[in-house]
Amino acid sequence: MMNLSEWIQIFINQLKAVPVLEWLGVSFGVAEVLFARANKIWLYPCGIIAVVISTYIFFHSGLYAESALNLYYFVMSVYGWWWWEKRKGHAAPDVTRANKMDWVKTIAIVVVAFITLYLVLINFTDSTVPVFDSWVSATAWAGMWLLAKRKIENWILLNISNAFAIPLLIYKGLPLYAILTLFLFVIAVMGYIKWNKIIKQKEKVNAFSFE
């Protein structure tokens, strides 16, 4: 059983051996997040480049479910770019909390995605981490569905995925992606706090209007 100092040394050694392609993938991933936070359309071309590079890296690292997840990100980036251009000047949909039916669907997405991915990985790939790879991707799928519905709980599901992805990426020798995922974890926490304030302000306005 390795102690913390041994894990840190392994992580440092991995960083020293990071190839240029991984640096590029992570750099464009960071740029995507920063442009998204600034609400700039450049988030989409940066996201597309990051996803293409990441899909290749994850596939060759044996993270097949993560690789498939990135293909979905690619499609969503192209769609998001098109939708952004189409909806210029339109207000974003309201942020709300998930209701009981939303949670039923969320749990169903996690369960179905996890079982499907796990069965595919153990039967059709040489994955050495089928459980964790499937779990990280399944919870991310559910989080993205909630994000599309503008539900605040999307940040919870995405951070469940991120929390398991960080040690998985370190184990697979992808330290820069582990750092990027930690960065995304922090962004998700901030996103939850911001959306919660928006919802509470809306609830106060609605309560005042009924008085």
User: Domain limits of the chain?
Assistant: 19-87+97-210
- Whole-angstrom CA distances from 138 to 24, 157, 176 are 26, 10, 22
Write down the pTM of the prediction.
Answer: 0.82
Instruction: Please report the pLDDT score of residue 208 as a whole number.
Output: 60
Ordered mean pLDDT values, 10 residues apiece, the chain (211 residues): 67 73 88 75 88 92 92 83 72 82 96 96 95 96 86 93 94 88 91 89 71 54
Rama region for 150: left / alpha / beta (φ>0; ψ in -120 to 50; rest): left
